[in-house]
Structure formats: C-alpha cells, structure tokens
Amino acid sequence: MSSTRAEGGYGRGAGVLSVGIAATGLTTYTYFSLASHSLSEAAYGEITLLWSAVFITVSVLYRPVEQLLSRTIAQRDAHGATGREHLRVAASIQLALGVLFVVAALVLRGPLQDDLFGGSETLYWVLVVTVLAYAVSYFARGFLAGSRRFGLYGALVLMEALSRLMFALAVAVGIASGQSAVALGIAAAPILSLAVVPWALSRTRPAADGAPDVGAPAEAPAEAQFTLANGTGFAAAVLVIMVAEQTFLNAGPLLVKATEQGAGGAALAGFTFNVLLIARAPLQLFQAVQTSILPHLTRLGARGETDPFRRSVNATLAAIAGFAALVALAMLAAGPTLMDLVFGGEFDYDRLGLVLISVGMGLYLAAATLNQALLARGHALEACGAWLAAAAGFVAFLLLADFDDRVLQVETGYVAGALMLCGLLYALYRRSTVATDPTAS
C-alpha cells in the first residue's frame, strides 16, 4: 500500500510541477522572443551569452546543494530522522560556494567584462548580482523538493520567469529601451521569486508518502545522519556532473563566439543559442520530473522497494521517448518556419539540424533520468565518471572536427555526446539494478 501511495505521490508531484514549469518554459521562450525582436542581433547575442554565463555558473555551483537537500530530506524522512543539521551543513556549503564565486568574479572582471560582454559594465554586474541571488533560490528549491512542496516549487520558478519577462515586455512596448533593461530582468527574477519563501516557512509540512519501514531502527543510518564530510562528498560529485551538463548545453554557443570574432560572432552565437533552445526548453519542463523523481526514488530505495523503483524509471523513459518523437516530427514538418516566426533574424534554420537537436534532446533527457536514479542509489561518483567522459568527447568533437558550418557541427556533436552519455549511464543503471535485485538481470 505504501508503495502505491508513493508512486501516486510522485505522479501528482510531477503533474503539479509540470503545470508550473511548462508555463515557466513558455514564459522564458517569450522573454527571448521579445528580446530577439527588440534588440539588434549583436545586442541579443550578448544577452544570450549573459544567460549562458549565469546558468552555467548557478547550475554548477548551486544545483549540487539543491540535489543534496532534496535527496537528504527524502532519505531522512524515510528513516524517521529528526533535526536540522542537514540544513545547516547545506547552508554552509552554499555560502562557501557563493564566496568562491565573488572572489573569482572580481579576479576575472577584466576578461568577463571586456571579452565576454564587449566592455559592458552593466552586463558584468548583472552577472554578479544574479548568481548571488540564485544561491538562495536554489537552496529554497532543494528544501521544497525534498519536503514535497511541489506547488510552492512551481510557484517559485514561475514567478521568476514572469518577473524576467516583464522587463523584456517593457522594452518591446516602449516603456523602457535597450539591452540593459532586458538584462536587468535576469537579475531581478531570482530576487522577486523568493516572495514564495515565507509561504514555505509558514505552511504545515505534508505527510510522508508512506510510513517508515516497520522495524526500522530509531537511529538513522550513517548516510542519513548528515555531516559536512558526506554532504560535501555528494555535492562535489554532483558539482562535476553539473560542469559536464553545462558543457553540453552551453559549449556550442560559447565556442562559436570564440571562433567568430566581432558583432558577427555574437550574432552567430545567438543563432546557435536559438537552435539549442529546442533542447533547452524541454529541460525546463523536465525539471518537474527531475525535481520530483529524485526524492521519490530515494524514498523507494531507502525502503527497499525495487519494483516500484524500476517502474518509475521505465515509465519516465517511455514518456521521454514519446515526447522526443513528437518534437522531431514537428521540426521535420515545420521547424524552419516555426523558428523564423519565433525569433526572426536573417539566419536560415536547417531542417535536418533541428531534427538532430530534437533527437539529442530525447537522449539527453533519458540520460538525466538515469542520472537521478543513480544519485538516488548513492552512485554519484560512478555517474560523475560517465558525465566527464561524454562531455570530454563532446568538447573534443567541437574542437577537432572540421566543419564549414559551425552550427551543424554543434548539432552533430550534441547528438553524439548525448548518445554516448545515455549509453554509459544506462550501463551503470543496469549494473546497480542487478546489484540491488539479482532477479532483475
């Protein structure tokens, strides 16, 4: 009975989050669409570079603590553990990472401001303020996910996207003007989204997906007894995974910008970014699954419920395959027309390239699901190795392959890298499944 409630809880949590995050994805897409139509191609390209720089940084630095909190809270609930030491440890790690970022940003101000942002002081300070604001935002996300407060989690990310959109909309209708106004929305969004945090602190925590196992020890196991040492170890492995993840998502536009100098390079980087939004936008929606499946699988693993664990993973993979097939068919039928309509500009979108990105998106989402299953089972280090190998292969392809068409090179490399990653993580997942339940082989 408890496993049935747990699976139902996962489905409801993913459903609630899907509504909020789907709206968030559409809102984010609209933000970039308005910015693309309101700014010159070079100015828009710099906005996309700012966005990439922000989300490379916050995903690498802060998502490990989000995942750490989500998994730890779920595991402690499954074992009936009490206390708040896990929150203090996670906050200490997050604070240290924020300080590390500030020091690095000040040391690298020259290259960031002059080389990446074309000398714009505004874009540099937007980067600094935004990254610091996201330290608090991602801590809140981890707490909300682990506590199964998915409605508030969805409200937080939706408010963030809506706040950002208001700045681009103000420029589009003429209330404000210029690149700086659009960029300020990126900094304001995580700050304004924290308005939901008082609700999280005041609301009663929901009941668990099921009672702890009968006969479970009153004293939680060592891993559930959260310490700075095991917390830092898990976070460090996930941090490396996040570096690899952001390499997949952002190395393409950054490489294009580095190899194509001047305004033309920024414009081509913006075009490459638009193409990769086919992979990025579904990732916004997939956050609903990713956010809810880690604490769900962690609880099932802590209770030894191997069959519900496998069913949850298999159902998620099947849904991803169907979704990716629909996106690929849509891109095959009308991809260039849709991209021109949304983003405008003078670039021509290649139909085959758009289909390739759609296939790569499906493989990448499948890999992300398998990664969450491995994290739930405590195999963060092994998963980290797979991500590093695949990311290294992707970067090597971008640097060494000889393509006249840089965008096609990014598209091809993305699909090949995602396929490699998915294969490596699936092999690890199968091995962990057999180790957990030999009858599954």
pLDDT tens string 299-337: 888 788 888 899 989 988 998 899 889 988 988 998 888
Answer yes or no: is 222 within a domain. no
Answer yes or no: is 223 within a domain. no
Q: What is the DSSP string of 352-393?
A: HHHHHHHHHHHHHHHHHHHHHHHHHTT-HHHHHHHHHHHHHH
- At residue 404, φ and ψ (nearest 5 deg) are -70, -35
| Higher pLDDT, residue 216 or 287 | 287
Q: Look up tokens 């021109």; give the residue.
A: 340
Answer yes or no: is 224 within a domain. no
Predicted local distance difference test score (pLDDT) of residue 214: 40
Average pLDDT, integer, range 247-276 = 71
Average pLDDT value for the chain: 81
Answer yes or no: is 285 within a domain. yes
Residue 394's contacts (CB-CB under 8 Å, 6 or more residues apart) are: 247, 248, 251, 413, 414, 416, 417, 420
Answer yes or no: is 240 within a domain. yes
Tell me which amino acid residue 197 is: V
**Spatial distance between the Cα atoms of 73 and 79, rounded to a whole number of angstroms:** 10
Smallest CA-to-CA distance from 55 within 239, 291, 246 is with: 246
pTM given for the model: 0.76
Query: Of all residues in the chain, what percent carry a pLDDT higher than 90?
Result: 29
Answer yes or no: is 237 within a domain. yes
Predicted local distance difference test score (pLDDT) of residue 90: 87
Answer yes or no: is 308 within a domain. yes
User: Is residue 1's pLDDT more than 50?
Assistant: no
Q: Most confidently modeled of 76-80, 198-202, 265-269?
A: 76-80
User: Is residue 215's pLDDT more than 50?
Assistant: no
3-class SS at 401? Answer: coil
User: Is residue 340's pLDDT more than 90?
Assistant: no
Distances (CA, A) of 176 to 30, 139, 159, 322: 17, 32, 21, 42
Confidence of residue 145 (pLDDT cuts 50, 70, 90): confident
Average pLDDT, integer, range 257-271 = 65
Identify the weakest region by mean pLDDT among 238-242, 339-343, 383-387.
Answer: 339-343
Which structural domain, as residue segments, surrounds residue 275? 2-214+229-436
Confidence of residue 433 (pLDDT cuts 50, 70, 90): confident
Confidence of residue 205 (pLDDT cuts 50, 70, 90): low
Determine the straight-line distance between the first and last CA of the chain, rounded to whole angstroms.
26
**Spatial distance between the Cα atoms of 311 and 109, rounded to a whole number of angstroms:** 49
Confidence of residue 170 (pLDDT cuts 50, 70, 90): very high
- At residue 345, φ and ψ (nearest 5 deg) are 85, 180
pLDDT, tens digit (0-9, with 9 covering 90-100), for 49-108: 898 889 889 988 998 999 888 888 888 887 777 667 788 888 899 999 999 999 999 999
Q: Provide the domain count of the chain.
A: 1
Confidence of residue 217 (pLDDT cuts 50, 70, 90): very low
User: Is residue 213's pLDDT more than 60?
Assistant: no
Answer yes or no: is 220 within a domain. no
